[in-house]
Amino acid sequence: MTAGRGGGVAGLGEMGVLGEMGVLGAAGVLAGVVGTAGGITSLISYPALLAAGLPPLSANVTNLVAGVACWPGAALASGPELAGRGPWLRRWIPLSALGGAVGAVLLLCTPPGVFARVVPFLVAAGSLALLAQPRLTALHQRHRTGALLPVGLLTVSVYGGYFGAGSGVLVLALLLTTAEPHLPRANALKNMLIGAPALISSVAFAAFGPVNWTAAAPLALGMFTGSTLGPRVARHLPPTALRHLVALLGLALAARLWLTPTG
């Protein structure tokens, strides 16, 4: 079969449509767990879509659309961490959504792969920032500026709406440095903030982008299932170990994106 809007999924051998959908569903579960536990969903889901035979642009768009399923799943599983944070989220989610809309327009209006060379460096920078987070937090407290969070969040949200891979690591590093030093709570807030640009951009992609719905449906179902487990994993892992693990996953994704075309 060929990969395209409304078409099937190619590249996973002779297992047939149901087998291919099962593989994508399993990849979605793992991606949802890894992503909402603090890591990077696209480390699993984007390569799985490429392996399924989707071209890079379709894989990117399909991955962003399916990833919206992580938002409600993570919210359901993060009640303790999100308790009392409603006003804070109502303040910052609109800004995040605005960035996602700008990123979606950029993706639909610019040549495919225009940022391909930059993406691995962005992901690597966010991963290194996680490793250096205690020092960055101390530096921010000594030279506090109110502009870092809104400017950083808007910038990362634009990137998240455009490509998305690694945006969670960038937002997590930003929140740990500026807003919430407790990693499970910062991770829960991160899941909510990256869900907003994903939702906005997915609406635009569903209308105008090359979404492969045969691949998106099982991937989204798997992501929703995995996202109900990820925050619980983050809740029970030692914060330092989790931060280092997320950073290493981010560096692995950066290397993967450097070797794999993104547009």
Helices within 132-227 (DSSP H only): 133-142, 148-162, 167-178, 183-208, 213-227
Rounded Cα distance, 55 and 3, in Å: 7
Q: What sign has the CA pseudo-torsion 71, 174, 233, 22? A: positive
Residue 4 lies in a domain: no
Q: How far is CA 158 from the centre of its chain?
A: 12
Mean of all residue pLDDT scores within the chain: 82
Number of structural domains (the chain) is 1
Question: Longest C-alpha distance within the chain, in Å?
Answer: 59
Beta carbons of 261 and 68 less than 8 angstroms apart? no
Residue 94 lies in a domain: yes
| Helix, strand, or coil (residue 54) | coil
Rounded Cα distance, 29 and 48, in Å: 12
Q: The domain containing residue 85 runs over which residues?
A: 16-259
Residue 251 lies in a domain: yes
Instruction: Supply the pLDDT for residue 81.
Output: 93
Give the model's confidence band at 84: pLDDT under 50 very low, under 70 low, under 90 confident, else very high. very high
Is residue 39 over pLDDT 50?
yes
Beta carbons of 3 and 53 less than 8 angstroms apart? yes
Q: Which residue has the tokens 């990117």?
A: 60
**81 contact partners, CB below 8 Å, separation of at least 6:** 184, 185, 187, 188, 189, 231, 235
Residue 6 lies in a domain: no
Give the model's confidence band at 25: pLDDT under 50 very low, under 70 low, under 90 confident, else very high. very high
Tokens of 35: 């992503």
Is residue 257 over pLDDT 90?
no
Rounded Cα distance, 186 and 244, in Å: 15
Residue 188 lies in a domain: yes
Residue 252 lies in a domain: yes
Residue 253 lies in a domain: yes
Rounded Cα distance, 260 and 222, in Å: 24
For 101-114, the pLDDT digits (tens) are 898 888 788 776 66
* Nearest of 126, 121, 158, 148 to residue 258 by alpha carbon: 121
Instruction: Supply the pLDDT for residue 131.
Output: 76
Measured from the Cβ of residue 84, the count of other Cβ atoms closer than 10 Å reads 7
Q: Please give the average per-residue pLDDT across 82-94, as a whole number.
A: 94
For 183-220, the pLDDT digits (tens) are 889 999 999 998 888 888 888 888 888 899 999 999 99
Residue 217 lies in a domain: yes
